[in-house]
Amino acid sequence: MKPLIRISSRAVPLMRENIDTDAIIPSREMRSVSKSGLADGLFAGWRYLDQKSREPDPDFVLNQRRYSGAKILVSGNNFGCGSSREHAVWALAEYGFRAIIAPSFAPIFRGNCIQNGIAPVVLDAEDVRDLAIQAEAGREFALDMNLMTVTVGGRVYAFSIEDEARTMLMEALDLIELTRKSIRVIEAFRAEQKRRRPWLYV
């Protein structure tokens, strides 16, 4: 995972509502217990004309040349709903996405994003529609996690995200690492507990 502070890139407009985790990564694409090797299966049902030969569907937005290397996805309401599979986020991250802009996210999916270095950016439905138009036009987006803004063509869209999530993204921490920041406090606690309740320490 890489720290997410500022990124600029084009954005992919995928304006559908309720995109579920099965659409993001169909279960047949999750072949091993590993967290990698999933990018090929990202949106497989929409991305390929033929699932076996993997002939790309030229109409699907992700297959359009101008979006290659894009790090931002713009989408509809309730993004990431459905099964809680973390593979959906792993696939998006492996493909290269670092931020998803949508009016709302499914809660578990949102938590998984933060754990895996993808910023879930929530903006008004109207702003998101605006941004989709800008994305369609191939404009460059600038995301700044410090200022909590998305800037496109001179217009600034401010969003909010809770401190803990922002720290995790900006410092590329997962929950374990976040907790490990308190390791001194934990060690001190355990030393004190060992003194008071020594039988707990086998």
Residues that bind other proteins (CB under 8 A): 33, 162-164, 175-176, 179-180, 182-183, 185-186, 189-190, 193, 197-202
Min separation Cβ 123 and other proteins, Å: 22
Residue type for 172, please?
A
Burial tier of 160 (Cβ tally within 10 Å: 0-12, 13-18, 19+)? exposed
Min separation Cβ 23 and other proteins, Å: 23
Nearer Cβ to other proteins, position 33 or 53?
33
What is the side-by-side strand order in the sheet with 149-152? 119-122, 99-102, 72-75, 6-14, 140-144, 149-152, 155-158
Nearer Cβ to other proteins, position 66 or 190?
190
Q: Which residue has 């903006």 as its token pair?
A: 123
Min separation Cβ 48 and other proteins, Å: 29
φ, ψ of residue 157 to 5 degrees: the values are -110, 120
Nearer Cβ to other proteins, position 48 or 105?
105
Nearer Cβ to other proteins, position 52 or 197?
197
Q: Which residue has 């949508």 as its token pair?
A: 102
Min separation Cβ 5 and other proteins, Å: 22
CA atoms within 13 A on the CB side of 3: 8
